[in-house]
Amino acid sequence: MVQGVDLHLDRQVRELGGGPKASSGSAEDAPGYPRTVSNCGQKVRITAPPRQAVSLNQGSTEVLLSLGLADRMSATATWTDPVLPGLRKANTTVPRLADNAPSFEKVLDKEPDFVSASFVSTLGKGGVATREQFEKLGVPTYVSPADCTKDNSGDGDGSRTTPLTMDDVYGEIRDLSQVFGVDKRGDALVGKLKARVTKATKGVDASGTSVLYWFANSESPYMAGCCGAPGAITHAVGAKNVFDDAHEEWPQINWETVAERNPDVLVIGDLSRKQESAETAAKKIAFLESNPVTRSMDAVRHKRYVLLSGQAMNPSIRTVDGIEKVADALRRFGLDR
């Protein structure tokens, strides 16, 4: 097995840059290149606009598709939700290596000239491969800066002392647009997202409202801590996260503690993957309304549910969707003032 991988790596080194979609010519043929992007404490040098990029998480994929770069992508992987409706057509042109994490060999089969990911764990030990493994082959890598601003040294999803902001999400868009030489598209996309946030939150002040975010698992549920994407959503609408005293990204919290906090609104992850119990919103709601500990909670009794995709609850362009949906729900529930 090791020998087979070594042979594959050797072929990858020889052939990188070849193939029908590969970038032809040298850096001198691409105006504005080489370019260097600072990313998670590393300097990523790009010698020419990528032509065979592989994105290893859905969040990164949807940024690239939103920038109109489907024709420069060789593959994607690791999905929690259906693709954004406006990106469906473009997404059909990009092969999916796996619904979850693909093997290193499968990624190399696509002969990538650039690899991006949303999470440090994807391009780290125990993930698809480390950044160093790709870089030894001359393949530049990029990880969402939103994930690098937290402590990922533990076994869970990391923890934050500094709250995530939407600027972290916008920074990823601008970085990737620079990598691919479509800077104006990046600026335009950021401008559009900012305008949506402004419109969604206009007149909303939910300072007296408490919110809980449940991502997955009914036995030992993952609830949002203070400072990740749910924190950015909560801050945008002026509400309070009932677990804003937890700095872990997604701590597992027992239902008795949840019931004691008794949030006004439940924001529920509606996931299409099949990794944990109660992935879909329907299963989560059925649990909440039948469990003796949770069914008497105010949010459950009044059915104050907000359904979000998994991507909206992680730092991504969909976090804007999360702000829009939570703000709209607060208005419907009469909790926006």
What is the percent of the chain with per-residue pLDDT over 70, rounded to a whole number?
91
Q: Residue 30: its pLDDT value, please?
A: 67
Co-location of 224 and 289 in the same domain: yes
The domain of 47 spans 9-194
Q: What is the pLDDT of residues 94-123, one digit of tens each?
A: 999 999 999 999 999 999 999 999 999 999
The predicted model scores a pTM of 0.88
Q: Residue 31: its pLDDT value, please?
A: 81
Q: What is the pLDDT of residues 66-93, one digit of tens each?
A: 999 999 999 999 998 899 999 999 999 9
The mean pLDDT of 16-22, rounded to a whole number, is: 36
Write out the two tokens for 100: 């979850």
Co-location of 253 and 305 in the same domain: yes
Q: Rounded mean pLDDT of the chain? A: 91
Q: Does 302 reside within a domain? A: yes
Local confidence band at 21 (pLDDT 50, 70, 90 cut-offs): very low
The mean pLDDT of 8-16, rounded to a whole number, is: 38
Local confidence band at 272 (pLDDT 50, 70, 90 cut-offs): confident
Q: Residue 25: its pLDDT value, please?
A: 37
Q: What is the pLDDT of residues 127-182, one digit of tens each?
A: 999 999 999 999 999 999 999 999 998 778 999 999 999 999 999 999 999 999 99
Q: What is the count of structural domains for the chain?
A: 2
Local confidence band at 9 (pLDDT 50, 70, 90 cut-offs): very low
The mean pLDDT of 8-24, rounded to a whole number, is: 37
Q: Does 1 reside within a domain? A: no
Kindly provide the b/e burial profile for residues 99-115, where b requires at least 16 CB atoms within 10 angstroms of the residue's own CB: eebbebeebbbbbbbbb
Co-location of 116 and 260 in the same domain: no
d(Cα 46, Cα 64) in Å, to the nearest integer?
16
Q: Does 337 reside within a domain? A: no
- Of 148, 174, 194, the last residue of a domain is 194
d(Cα 305, Cα 302) in Å, to the nearest integer?
9
Residues near 326 by beta carbon (within 8 Å), at least 6 away in sequence = 211, 233, 234, 237, 239, 265, 267, 306, 308
How far are the Cα atoms of 160, 181, 248 from residue 150, in angstroms, in the given order? Answer: 5, 28, 9
Co-location of 320 and 186 in the same domain: no
Residue whose token pair is 């696509």: 110
Q: Residue 207: its pLDDT value, please?
A: 94
- Of 176, 194, 212, the last residue of a domain is 194
Q: Does 306 reside within a domain? A: yes
Q: Under a CB-based contact definition with an 8 Å cutoff, are residues 322 and 308 in contact?
A: yes
Co-location of 246 and 105 in the same domain: no
Q: Residue 155: its pLDDT value, please?
A: 76
Co-location of 113 and 211 in the same domain: no
Q: Residue 3: its pLDDT value, please?
A: 26
Co-location of 63 and 142 in the same domain: yes
Q: Does 3 reside within a domain? A: no
DSSP state of 256: H
The mean pLDDT of 41-68, rounded to a whole number, is: 97
CATH of residue 52: 3.40.50.1980
Q: What is the pLDDT of residues 228-239, one digit of tens each?
A: 999 999 999 999
Q: Residue 263: its pLDDT value, please?
A: 98
Gyration radius of the chain over CA positions = 21
How far are the Cα atoms of 1, 64, 69 from residue 74, in angstroms, in the given order? Answer: 25, 12, 10
Residues near 27 by beta carbon (within 8 Å), at least 6 away in sequence = 33, 34, 47, 48
Q: Is the model's pLDDT at 26 over the cut of 70?
A: no
Residue whose token pair is 């970085």: 175
d(Cα 144, Cα 117) in Å, to the nearest integer?
6
The mean pLDDT of 308-328, rounded to a whole number, is: 96
